[in-house]
Structure 1
């Protein structure tokens, strides 16, 4: 299934991507496409809302309320790093660390950090994104 990545609705979000160094921008755009692809192919997630939170591109399941917000951001100025951020009040990053102990570099309980010089393990990352986008729904189902 081929998913069409939507154009930017918010010029402020697009500006954040455009302000990144070229290599980081390319990788972050690929992450953005992956987030939209996973949302479109994961049952119950529905349409994503793309906005800025803390000045960073953020992806919310505003309609379905099925998941936890995912943010992305470049590393510090001059860095070749970029990261996906997850709500630190969830168990998401701890779960990712248990499932994928060597596939990713983690920062505390809030992010997966990437470098433009490295390879992104796409299938593992898609699984992590799907877990985030269904976090609230899965938590509710586990309580039921």
Structure 2
């Protein structure tokens, strides 16, 4: 009789241990999945920040180059398969991807679109833009226009 009881205790101990191990494995798998998703979001945001830094650098180069200096800049259609938004105003380049925001500052300047509107300029993914340094009314103006 005692031998049967010990076998039953062994079976219950095994089942409890197995369930604990199963829950630990599930917890670790969910944590790993969360970390991988977070890493992918960070990679997309890093790609957006690199793009914004490149654009801000080109705007600063055109500004420093003086009147008549111009450069072209092509935006990718997506970043790591994610859609993004990008806009520029007189203080910096701003972007959003997967609900996360970024900013790259530029030297303060007067920024206009191709119609001469002095406001935030929304840039469309997959488009090539020309950045020009112009002299208007005795002041330096940076114009961003789609090609």
TM over 0.5: no
What TM-score do the two structures reach when normalised by structure 1? 0.31
Structure showing greater Rg: 2
What TM-score do the two structures reach when normalised by structure 2? 0.31
Say which structure is richer in strand. 2
